[in-house]
Chains A and B, each alone.
Chain A
Amino acid sequence: MSRSVRCLNCIVPPHVLKKLLESKDRGIREAALNSLLVTARLRGERGVRAATFVAPPGDGRRTVYDCRSGYFLPLAVVARTENGEAPSDASVNLAFDGLGTTREFFREVFDRNSIDGRGMRLDGYVHYGVRYNNAFWNGREMVFGDGDGLLFADFTRSLDVIAHELAHGVTEFTANLEYHNEPGALNESMSDVFGSLVKQWSLGQTAEEADWLIGADVLTPEIEADALRSMKAPGTAYDNDLLGKDPQPDHRDRFVVLPDTEDGDWGGVHINSGIPNKAFFLAAVAVGGYAWEAPGHIWYESLLASHERTRFQEFADTTCLKAGQLYGNVEQQAVTDAWREVGIRVAGVWAGTGGRGPGRGRGGEPGRGTEPAENGDTLAALTKQVAALAAQVKTLARDVKTLKGRK
């Protein structure tokens, strides 16, 4: 095999290797992949995996692979296909079902055809590694571990974790929030938001009924912990000698500054996501009903309107704008109040109010707030809103430029 790999490296050009990746012969596919990966490492290229795995459209067709406790994905075997029979392996079937539920959620709620909006195939890998306490998205597929049975159970058991990972793909194909610092924390938050919404949608739960926990189903009963994260109360998901303490903040003032390194969680992306997580929870509960409806749409449209370096303030402003554009004063006030409660004052534009602020609250009563205007200062409020509009136009122009660059 190694001699074949060396020959492929020397003689076969990359475009041919990429075509060989589509071969029905597994041995040929593996050899081509190994060649491309070795070549990429030699050239210092990091993007070959993304470049080679551009999936053809397929209405989100699912395939689940069994890693058989290995860590090298090319050696995984097909365990279930979209129209194939269900095997006896529960993990395979849970992953298959979870991928399908997430796919249906995005289709029915947001009219989105799979992760990329164009029917991207959904591939899942189960039984990854030995007692692997994690699940991840590699830019093309999602991968699940079985857990060690002590801290964690099988990660395919958690629909919110499955949806969380797939939502990383949605973010990548929309705003593509970079995975560092505040944009990275927003990236993580978007995945927690959609992860929780998929679960709520599948259960028919209202915002009040939902537990707003991420990964509750992957922790073993013996561990005294609620979940991996709590959107409702960041920082309270766990606190014991075995796991340590949940480090998530619930307010901007308690933002955790960490180095932008692997050890620093790339600036605390899994930690500071607690701040926008709580904002979404608060907005959802304030609006009431099903969280995937108004709040979910406001957040989704705001994601579409964001870009790689969108930070908390800009995203908050966008959610306020979208709330006004898509819904009305009630939703806009809920969103504004939610962000304020986590320490971010929205500088959004109030739809249909002529710059007079949110005006009326629920039931036609006079609104209590004049966000973003200072009380009694209409000119200052108008000036601030014009500035906010200008910022929005700038963002839109950047989005258009980015979209043009991608075509």
Chain B
Amino acid sequence: MKVRLAKHGGLAPGIRQPPLSVESSALSDEAAAELARLVAAVKTVPAVSAESPGRARDAMSYTITLEENVGEPTVLRVSDVTMSASFAALLEWIERHAAGK
């Protein structure tokens, strides 16, 4: 499974922020299992993407693309103000593991 994270918006949206990606085959068994657990948790909670900024100002949004061995990629999109606990956990995990590479 490959997980890609793209970040958008913020208080300076013109500044490019590089995307991150994690390939589960390159992870330890323990880390790969953790990633699979986090992905499974996210897929059970409906992602709320922003059709309008609402009351948020300068918030960022995130697109996580899950490319699994079968089927079409799953695309999840949330923002800083529509963050569920499970999405937050996956986001934090990706940031930590992708940066470590």
Contact = CB atoms under 8 A, between A and B. Distances in A.
A20 B60 CA distance: 29
A72 B57 CA distance: 17
Contact of A263 (B8, B16, B56, B84): B8
B80 A71 contact: yes
Contacts of B87: 71
A165 interface: yes
Interface in A251-303: 262-263, 265-266, 270-271
A41 B80 contact: no
Given A50-B55, A143-B80, A270-B13, A69 B92 contact: yes
Given A71-B88, A265-B9, A138 B55 contact: yes
A228 B9 CA distance: 13
B15 A244 contact: yes
Nearest to A74: B85
A72 B53 contact: no
Nearest to A37: B84
B14 A247 contact: yes
Contacts of A265: 9, 13
Nearest to A133: B17
A138 B15 contact: no
A179 B11 contact: no
Contacts of B48: 41
Interface string A222-246: 0000001100000000100011111
B30 to A, nearest CB: 19
Interface in A126-173: 129-131, 133-140, 143, 151, 161, 164-165, 168, 172
Interface residues of A, number: 52
B57 A179 contact: yes
Contacts of B70: none
Contacts of A72: 83-85, 88-89
Contacts of B60: 134, 136
Interface string A56-84: 00000000000001111011000000000
Interface string B68-100: 000000000001110111011101100110010
A270 B55 contact: no
A139 B14 contact: no
Contact of A228 (B15, B17, B85, B96): B15
Contact of A138 (B11, B59, B61): B59
Given A161-B11, A228-B15, A262-B50, A137 B56 contact: yes
A271 B14 contact: yes
Contacts, number: 121
Contacts of B19: none
A371 B39 CA distance: 62
Q: Which has the most chain A C-beta neighbours within 10 Å: B57, B79, B85?
A: B57
B81 A139 contact: yes
B58 A135 contact: yes
Given A41-B48, A130-B99, A168-B58, A135 B11 contact: yes
Contacts of A133: 10, 15, 17
A46 B54 contact: yes
A139 B11 contact: no
A71 B91 contact: yes
A187 to B, nearest CB: 7
A41 to B, nearest CB: 6
A40 B55 CA distance: 15
Interface of A: 34, 37, 41, 46-47, 49-50, 69-72, 74-75, 129-131, 133-140, 143, 151, 161, 164-165, 168, 172, 179-180, 187, 191, 215, 228-229, 238, 242-248, 262-263, 265-266, 270-271
Nearest to B53: A179
Contacts of A229: 12
Nearest to A53: B55
B43 to A, nearest CB: 15
28 contacts: A69-B92, A71-B87, A71-B88, A72-B84, A75-B85, A130-B96, A134-B11, A136-B10, A136-B11, A136-B56, A136-B57, A136-B58, A139-B54, A139-B57, A151-B15, A164-B58, A165-B11, A165-B57, A165-B58, A168-B57, A180-B53, A228-B15, A229-B12, A242-B16, A244-B16, A262-B9, A262-B49, A265-B9
Given A262-B9, A270-B12, A138 B56 contact: yes
Contacts of B14: 244-248, 270-271
B12 A215 contact: yes
Contacts of B11: 134-136, 161, 164-165, 215, 228, 270
Contacts of A70: 88, 92
A229 B99 CA distance: 27
A140 B54 CA distance: 12
